[in-house]
Amino acid sequence: MALYPEAFGPYDPQDDPLFAAKLIVAVMVADGHSAMLAALIDGTSEFETIEGEPGWALERRAADFRAWVPPEVIASGRPEIFVGRATLAAFLEAALSEARARRH
């Protein structure tokens, strides 16, 4: 999870209200699934929900996205949050930028 602090700042599941979305983006980029995430964000994905280990989920809704990280896996202040498309796209770009910097 070394990508997380470089892309998003301190790993702070208790006090960061956007932690769930940031964590999911960091995991997906680190696992090589950035194209799948980009398709979900821009609406071209055939899927409305992406799930991963250990039990997180990112769901596209009509006007926003629901990010959920199970509290029994990572105790956070807000295990479920809702974020807009622009916020999620900015998180993806931050994580991709960090991943590219690591390759050079």
Residue with tokens 């990010």: 67
d(CA 8, CA 23) in angstroms, rounded, equals: 9
Q: Using alpha carbons only, give the angle 66, 86, 67 rounded to the nearest 5 degrees.
A: 15
Which pTM was predicted?
0.93
Mean pLDDT by 10 residues, the chain (104 residues): 88 95 95 96 95 93 95 92 97 95 83
Token digits for 38? 């980009």
**What's the pLDDT score for residue 104?**
74
| Integer CA distances (angstroms), 37 to 12, 23, 72, 75, 85, in order | 23, 13, 24, 24, 11
**What's the pLDDT score for residue 1?**
57
CB 24 within 8 Å of CB 66: no
Classify burial at 74, counting beta carbons within 10 Å of its beta carbon; exposed 0-12, middle 13-18, buried 19 or more.
middle
